[in-house]
Amino acid sequence: MKGKLPLGPLRASTRQPLLLECEVEGAAITAARLTSVVERFSYAVGFEGASPADGAAFASHLCARSSVHLAWALSIAVEDALGMEVAAEHDAMRVALSEWARIASHLEVVSDVARALEDDLVYGRPRRYIRRIRTAFEEACGNAFGFGAVVPGGVALASASAAADLLDALGGDGESIERDVAFWVRKLSLSRARLTRGRLDASRLEGEASAAALRASGSGLDLRAGEASGTYGQLGYRPVSRDGGTTLDRTLVLLAEIKTSIGLIRKVRESASGCDGAPGPVSPRKGTGAGAVESPHGAVDCRVFIDSEGKIIRARLTSDADLVADLAGRAMEGVPFEDAAAAMVSLNLCSCCMGLGGRERGAGGEE
């Protein structure tokens, strides 16, 4: 048989408004093209005239799963423009929020891979942890995704005790998740025959990009590592990577990053527990600034321009998620169609982050 078959966006395991059009010969995909059924959007007007805090809140709403990371990137850019310092306990709480949000996002991908494989043992339990994380965020931030929690000057939480309460509420889950990660690694490895295709070739990228999917293909790039990594550099963070580039490699990198995130949260917990949830004051002045953060879906970069009254003139957000998506079609070549959903999900694509535009293409969907 030779023909064309679509995959997504209504398939339960993918749950993204992405369409993978596949040319199939026999049982295998010979060519594929990934498109988003949502048009790339221009968000620039949402920042114009906004205060730094309102700008960070708007950035956080551009993607629920990367909410904390997008707001953090913009906040770093504003702090750079205004010469602001962030208290150590607020910086530590940003790390904690960022890593719990990363854990929830990665767990969702691992669960979806398992669902595509019809592996109920691995599918269900990550969902329970996600619910616990969302509940803790709801109580500490006023919403389940941390919208508006990270702002210039620190973090804005529901109460003075919210940071300690969140860390206490989730503190017991770390060891449990680590045990389950070890089990999920063994369980998914039993499906190796269905997960050893879908090879992503990071060498085809023009320029450098950072994303978990690329680290599963031999890349060592991660904005949490290196001289410019801020707090993460002080925590001794080291990127997780594998060389195979297959569906299994990508899933195992996500699981390894979950364990790494738990370790980072433990390191900052004592300092983060002292965060009072009230960010430092913003002193207006004219300036420009830049910020970058590693989100669950790839590196996020922000440039911000502020007027003399402290209002945002313009802000640009870009994401490497778009660059990973450009490689998706070729990565699907040779994958049996019955395993295409697992391979596609493991790429950890996000239509919202893709909609920001890649660094090669400019921000806000503007070519």
What pTM did the predictor assign?
0.93
Helix (H) / strand (E) element for 21: namely strand 18-25
Q: Is residue 318 helix, strand or coil?
A: strand
Query: Phi/psi at 28 (nearest 5 deg)?
Result: -115, 150
pLDDT tens-place string over residues 287-346: 999 999 999 999 999 999 999 999 999 999 999 998 898 899 999 999 999 999 999 999
Could you tell me if residue 364 is inside a domain? no
Q: Write out the residue range of the structural domain in which residue 294 sits.
A: 43-355
Could you tell me if residue 363 is inside a domain? no
User: Do residues 73 and 293 lie in contact, with contact meaning Cβ atoms separated by under 8 Å?
Assistant: yes
Could you tell me if residue 124 is inside a domain? yes
Rounded to whole angstroms, the Cα distance separating 304 from 312 reads 7
Grade residue 95 by pLDDT with cuts at 50, 70 and 90.
very high
Could you tell me if residue 285 is inside a domain? yes
Highest mean pLDDT among 5-9, 255-259, 346-350: 255-259
The amino acid at 327: L
Could you tell me if residue 287 is inside a domain? yes
**What pLDDT was estimated at residue 266?**
96
Residues in a beta bridge with 33: 21
Residues near 327 by beta carbon (within 8 Å), at least 6 away in sequence? 200, 201, 202, 204, 205
Could you tell me if residue 294 is inside a domain? yes
Grade residue 362 by pLDDT with cuts at 50, 70 and 90.
very low
Give the CATH number, domain containing residue 253.
1.10.645.10
**What pLDDT was estimated at residue 4?**
64
Could you tell me if residue 8 is inside a domain? no
Could you tell me if residue 11 is inside a domain? no
The amino acid at 153: G
**What pLDDT was estimated at residue 366?**
35
Residues in a beta bridge with 306: 287, 312
* Other C-beta atoms lying within 10 Å of the C-beta of residue 143: 17
Query: Phi/psi at 291 (nearest 5 deg)?
Result: -150, 150
Count structural domains, the chain: 1
Average per-residue pLDDT in the chain?
90
